[in-house]
């Protein structure tokens, strides 16, 4: 019976009654959110564990002495009676914080909306010629930092609300410790043998550059050549929009050609409107957003935008592969068969197909040549991919083909790279 009931003395505080509860209340109100959430889950699990022990003790009552039963029963019952009010108090503190954060979230959202409205109004005044460009830019200098502050405050309280709600459902996850940038970027190999030099450590490994970088302020450098095609996202425009990168004056502005289709988007090219950009140049994906300063129509058409405050870059490798579910059509021996692309990279893809018994003659084998027609999510145009079957996994009439893509032109390769980048982010 020694292993049946584990001691729980480590879970008991030395104080009891109102004094202990008041101490817990003071601690709760001064704790940071992570500590409060963690303590809730620990206390909840401890109570569940002790309640389970109490039930097991009742079941084993006839197998132990009455003295031992009474001692353990009192220990478990005292713990539950002492800690249940504490758990109630912790949950009350969590509820109060959630309520406070929800109010803060609403205030941040309202102020953010007000600032956006003010910027839009000033942009209309600028467009109407009521105020000068300098006056408009002076207003933006005041509002832009506050707009950013409101956005960050909104995101912060949203995370806090999610953390505390998860804690109430006993789903607290310990945050990962922050690592030194170089240390985290360096490759690790725990099973690597030590150097022959008396078991000393192997030579220091070369630090690899992180695959994705986020740059701010003076670090931002749009290292894209003039003439590069930009994919654009404008709020309220559902169709694909593109423009050509003209150039930049670093830290001051960037210039692009008017977006195409022009007649569809020209109504959105007013000062202050934010445009999101994405492009690939020399194997690197660039993601940034910028606000319009001016839409010039004479003597030539051009759009001048603020220099981005934030830039995300991502190294693109031809071997990058992501899981997906893209409905497609596989063509073999002149017959099209509905299929699903379940993973894809610029070099190849995996295709999932289920055949009917009457279609056995149209099942491809290793080294057979096939074609795939597919439309990538978010892209209205469909593409034809040529490939060679390199491996086949078969279970009766359900097959998964591993296909090496061949004869992929630059435009299609770029579409695949962009899709892989978005899906892998």
What CATH number is associated with residue 413?
2.40.10.220
Residue 64 and residue 138 in one domain: yes
Query: So what's the pLDDT on residue 336?
Result: 92
Give the position of tokens 């359900």.
398
Query: So what's the pLDDT on residue 296?
Result: 86
CA 281, CA 259: separation in Å to the nearest integer? 19
Query: So what's the pLDDT on residue 64?
Result: 87
- Decide if 196 is inside a domain: no
Cβ–Cβ < 8 Å for 221, 215: yes
Residue 122 and residue 165 in one domain: yes
Residue 268 and residue 327 in one domain: no
Cβ–Cβ < 8 Å for 83, 105: no
Residue 49 and residue 120 in one domain: yes
Query: So what's the pLDDT on residue 52?
Result: 87
- Decide if 303 is inside a domain: yes
Cβ–Cβ < 8 Å for 8, 53: yes
- Decide if 254 is inside a domain: yes
**Which strand (E) or helix (H) includes residue 214?**
strand 212-216
- Decide if 201 is inside a domain: no
Residue 343 and residue 272 in one domain: no
Question: 3-state DSSP helix/strand/coil percent for the chain, to nearest 5?
Answer: 45, 25, 30
Give buried/exposed letters for 128-161 (b at 16+ CB in 10 A, else e). eeebeeeebeebbeebbeebeebeebbeebbebb
DSSP, res 174: P
pLDDT tens sequence for the chain (425 residues): 334 444 444 444 444 455 555 555 555 556 788 888 888 888 888 888 888 888 888 888 888 888 888 888 899 899 999 989 998 998 899 899 989 988 888 888 888 878 877 887 887 788 788 888 888 888 888 888 888 888 888 888 888 888 888 888 877 666 654 444 333 333 333 333 444 444 444 443 333 344 678 888 888 888 888 888 888 988 888 787 889 998 888 888 899 999 988 888 989 999 888 999 988 887 778 899 999 998 888 878 889 999 998 898 887 655 567 788 888 999 999 899 999 999 888 888 999 999 998 998 899 999 999 999 998 876 777 889 999 999 999 888 899 999 999 888 877 887 887 787 766 65
CATH number at residue 276: 2.30.110.10
Domain count, the chain: 3
Q: Which of 255, 283, 315 is the last residue of a domain?
A: 315
- Decide if 412 is inside a domain: yes
Residue 298 and residue 327 in one domain: no
Query: So what's the pLDDT on residue 25?
Result: 52
Long-range contact set of residues 42-45: C-beta below 8 Å, sequence gap at least 24: 43/83, 43/86, 43/87, 43/90, 44/87, 44/170, 45/170
CA 366, CA 386: separation in Å to the nearest integer? 15
Question: Residue 126: which of 269, 20, 337 has the closest Cα?
Answer: 269
As given in the structure block, the two tokens for residue 179 are 């690592």
Q: Which domain holds residue 291?
A: 212-315
Residue 294 and residue 364 in one domain: no
As given in the structure block, the two tokens for residue 227 are 């003439």
DSSP, res 211: S
As given in the structure block, the two tokens for residue 242 are 């593109």
Query: So what's the pLDDT on residue 154?
Result: 82
Q: Which of 273, 291, 315 is the last residue of a domain?
A: 315
CA 259, CA 301: separation in Å to the nearest integer? 10
Residue 157 and residue 274 in one domain: no
Residue 309 and residue 327 in one domain: no
- Decide if 406 is inside a domain: yes
Query: So what's the pLDDT on residue 345?
Result: 85
As given in the structure block, the two tokens for residue 160 are 């806090």
CA 160, CA 98: separation in Å to the nearest integer? 8
- Decide if 188 is inside a domain: no
- Decide if 192 is inside a domain: no
Residue 295 and residue 363 in one domain: no
Residue 275 and residue 328 in one domain: no
Query: So what's the pLDDT on residue 81?
Result: 92
Residue 146 and residue 100 in one domain: yes
Question: Residue 246: which of 306, 302, 294, 289 has the closest Cα?
Answer: 302
Q: Which of 277, 300, 315 is the last residue of a domain?
A: 315
């Amino acid at each position: 019976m020694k292993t049946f009931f584990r001691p729980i003395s480590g879970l008991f505080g030395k104080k009891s009654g109102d004094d202990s509860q008041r101490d817990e209340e003071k601690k709760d109100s001064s704790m940071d959110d992570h500590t409060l959430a963690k303590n809730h889950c620990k206390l909840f699990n401890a109570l569940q564990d002790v309640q389970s022990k109490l039930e097991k003790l009742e079941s084993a009552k006839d197998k132990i002495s009455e003295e031992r039963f009474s001692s353990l029963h009192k220990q478990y019952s005292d713990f539950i009676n002492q800690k249940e009010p504490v758990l109630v108090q912790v949950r009350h503190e969590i509820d109060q914080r959630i309520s406070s954060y929800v109010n803060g979230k609403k205030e941040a959202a309202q102020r953010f909306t007000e600032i956006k409205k003010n910027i839009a109004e000033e942009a209309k005044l600028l467009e109407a010629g009521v105020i000068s460009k300098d006056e408009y830019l002076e207003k933006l200098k005041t509002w832009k930092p506050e707009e950013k502050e409101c956005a960050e405050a909104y995101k912060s309280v949203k995370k806090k609300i999610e953390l505390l709600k998860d804690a109430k459902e006993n789903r607290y996850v310990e945050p990962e410790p922050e690592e030194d940038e170089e240390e985290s970027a360096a490759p690790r190999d725990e099973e690597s043998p030590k150097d022959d030099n008396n078991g000393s450590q192997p030579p220091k490994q070369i630090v690899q550059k992180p695959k994705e970088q986020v740059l701010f302020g003076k670090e931002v450098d749009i290292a894209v050549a003039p003439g590069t095609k930009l994919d654009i996202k404008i709020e309220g425009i559902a169709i694909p929009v593109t423009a050509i990168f003209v150039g930049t004056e670093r830290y001051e502005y960037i210039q692009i050609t008017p977006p195409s289709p022009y007649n569809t988007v020209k109504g959105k090219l007013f000062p202050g409107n934010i445009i999101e950009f994405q492009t690939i140049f020399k194997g690197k994906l660039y993601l940034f957003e910028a606000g319009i300063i001016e839409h010039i129509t004479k003597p030539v058409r051009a759009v001048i935008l603020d220099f981005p405050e934030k830039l995300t870059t991502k190294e693109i490798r031809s071997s990058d592969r992501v899981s997906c579910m893209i409905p497609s059509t596989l063509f073999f021996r002149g017959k099209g068969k509905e299929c699903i692309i379940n993973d894809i990279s610029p070099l190849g893809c995996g295709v999932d197909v289920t055949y009917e018994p009457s279609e056995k003659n149209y099942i491809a084998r290793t080294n057979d040549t096939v074609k795939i027609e597919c439309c990538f999510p978010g892209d209205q145009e469909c593409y034809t991919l040529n490939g060679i079957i390199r491996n086949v996994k078969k279970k009766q009439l359900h097959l998964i083909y591993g296909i090496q893509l061949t004869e992929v032109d630059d435009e299609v390769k770029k579409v695949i790279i962009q899709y892989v980048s978005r899906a892998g982010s």
